[in-house]
């Protein structure tokens, strides 16, 4: 008796209703693409928010993954049986095959990499999106030298607001590896020792009512009138948002970066997927917009990611990864909670196949 392959997937429909599908439809790879059996998929707020905020629906959910290659193109660097991780394309009309929260997925081979023994499977499944976002900020928007580069770098000071976010954790470690100095971070008091270990020069308690004055006071010790490179890794928009706090510490000629679109036109947004054009529906904009590809920037960020992969566990790491194992419906609720409230600290990997 032949066992039928079941593809369990988390999806969103045209009416923005999220659900679970269980069928025998296997995704079909196109030219230059890999067919992959998913072992872990990494959860991100974007898994839900890209549908509700950017018009990416209907779609199967998820971007990050780790799995086993079932089919590879002729002449590919990958082979059947290889363990690979990576991420998949985004944008309106995103094909269902690219969703990573499903038992079987398709990924362009240029967006996957072989996983070395030093990188745990669940961590690999959560790494690519946050590392590529941080790398785009530091190496393309701030234009810091890549880790291991022979370029000398005295750039600074750098402020990372929200270092406890996964993007912030990646940014701190990239900055240290690139020789950026000084590196200032905002985080809760209980995380300060961790971030000093990861590479922060000085930590500030973001809950303190005097935090902006505290940062400015320390800046005077470095003979700076403000922070030249300011990274809002939180992207909060309510009340006195993180971007406003970052801007309050910035110098007049600062480069301001935030992980979400800000009303303040001084801010630019890093993007994990820069290898192709991406079409989105931005809230408040009456027409679709297309973000042009930045292929050279993609290669630069991808080089930083590969450095992180090669040095994982020694010079780079995700601090905390939890694993979800269970029903697909419960996994979907985890994604919704992540989009609504965040995790506070650490990443979540979904183990496949989901029940």
Pick the CATH number of 7-115+320-351 from 3.40.50.300, 2.60.40.10, 3.90.180.10, 3.10.20.90: 3.90.180.10
DSSP letter for 154, please: -
pLDDT tens for 298-307 read 999 999 999 9
Average pLDDT over residues 78-106: 98
Beta strands in 123-276 (DSSP E): 158-161, 183-187, 202-205, 227-232, 250-258, 267-268
Q: Whose CA is closest to 167, among 144, 122, 136?
A: 136
Nearest-angstrom CA–CA distance, 27 and 11: 14
What is the rounded CA–CA span in Å between residue 123 and residue 42? 8
Is residue 353 reached through a cis peptide bond, with omega within 30 degrees of 0 on the bond before it? yes
Residues 6+ apart with CB under 8 A from 220: none
Q: Identify the helix (H) or strand (E) that includes residue 132.
A: helix 121-135
Which pTM was predicted? 0.96
Give the CATH superfamily of 131-291.
NAD(P)-binding Rossmann-like Domain (3.40.50.720)
Q: Predicted confidence band at 246 (pLDDT cuts at 50, 70, 90)?
A: very high
Q: Report the distance separating Cα 103 and Cα 25, nearest Å.
A: 11
Q: Hey, how many other C-beta atoms are within 10 angstroms of the C-beta on 64?
A: 30
Q: How is the chain split into domains, by residue range?
A: 7-115+320-351, 131-291
CA–CA dist 298, 47 (Å, integer): 21
Tell whether the model's pLDDT for residue 241 goes beyond 90.
Answer: no
- Identify which of 106-115, 151-160, 220-229 has the greatest average pLDDT: 106-115
Tokens at residue 341, please? 């409230």
Could you give the 3-state DSSP secondary structure of residue 2?
Answer: coil
DSSP 104-119: EEEEEGGGEEEPPTTS
Least confident of 150-164, 182-196, 212-226, 273-287: 150-164
pLDDT tens figures, 223-233: 998 999 999 99
């Amino acid at each position: 008796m032949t066992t039928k392959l079941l593809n369990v997937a988390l999806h969103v429909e045209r009416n923005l209703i999220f659900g679970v599908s269980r069928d025998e439809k296997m995704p079909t790879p196109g030219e230059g693409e890999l067919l992959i059996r998913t072992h872990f998929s990494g959860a991100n707020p974007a898994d839900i928010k890209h549908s509700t905020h950017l018009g990416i629906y209907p779609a199967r959910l998820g971007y990050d993954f780790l799995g086993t290659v079932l089919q590879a193109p002729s002449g590919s660097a990958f082979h059947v049986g290889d363990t690979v991780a990576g991420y998949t394309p985004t944008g309106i009309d995103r094909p269902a095959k690219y969703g990573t929260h499903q038992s079987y997925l398709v990924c362009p081979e240029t967006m996957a990499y072989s996983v070395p023994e030093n990188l745990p499977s669940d961590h690999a499944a959560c790494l690519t999106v946050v590392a590529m976002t941080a790398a785009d900020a530091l190496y393309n928007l701030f234009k810091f030298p890549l880790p291991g580069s022979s370029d000398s770098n005295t750039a600074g000071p750098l402020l990372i607001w929200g270092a406890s976010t996964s993007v912030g954790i990646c940014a701190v470690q990239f900055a240290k590896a690139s020789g950026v100095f000084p590196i200032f971070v905002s985080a809760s008091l209980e995380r300060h020792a961790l971030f000093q270990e990861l590479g922060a020069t000085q930590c500030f308690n973001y809950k303190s009512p005097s935090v902006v004055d505290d940062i400015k006071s320390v800046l005077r010790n470095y003979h700076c009138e403000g922070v030249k490179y300011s990274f809002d890794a939180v992207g909060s928009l309510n009340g006195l948002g993180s971007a406003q706090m970052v801007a309050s510490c910035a110098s007049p000629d600062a480069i301001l970066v935030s992980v979400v679109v800000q009303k303040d036109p001084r801010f630019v947004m890093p993007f994990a997927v820069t290898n192709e054009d991406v079409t989105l529906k931005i809230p408040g904009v009456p027409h679709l917009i297309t973000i042009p590809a930045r292929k050279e920037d993609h290669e630069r960020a991808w080089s930083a990611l590969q450095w992180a992969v090669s040095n994982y566990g020694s010079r780079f790491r995700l601090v905390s990864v939890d694993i979800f194992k269970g029903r697909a419906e419960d996994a979907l609720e985890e994604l919704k909670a992540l989009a609504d409230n965040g995790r506070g600290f650490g990443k979540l990997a979904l183990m496949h196949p989901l029940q």
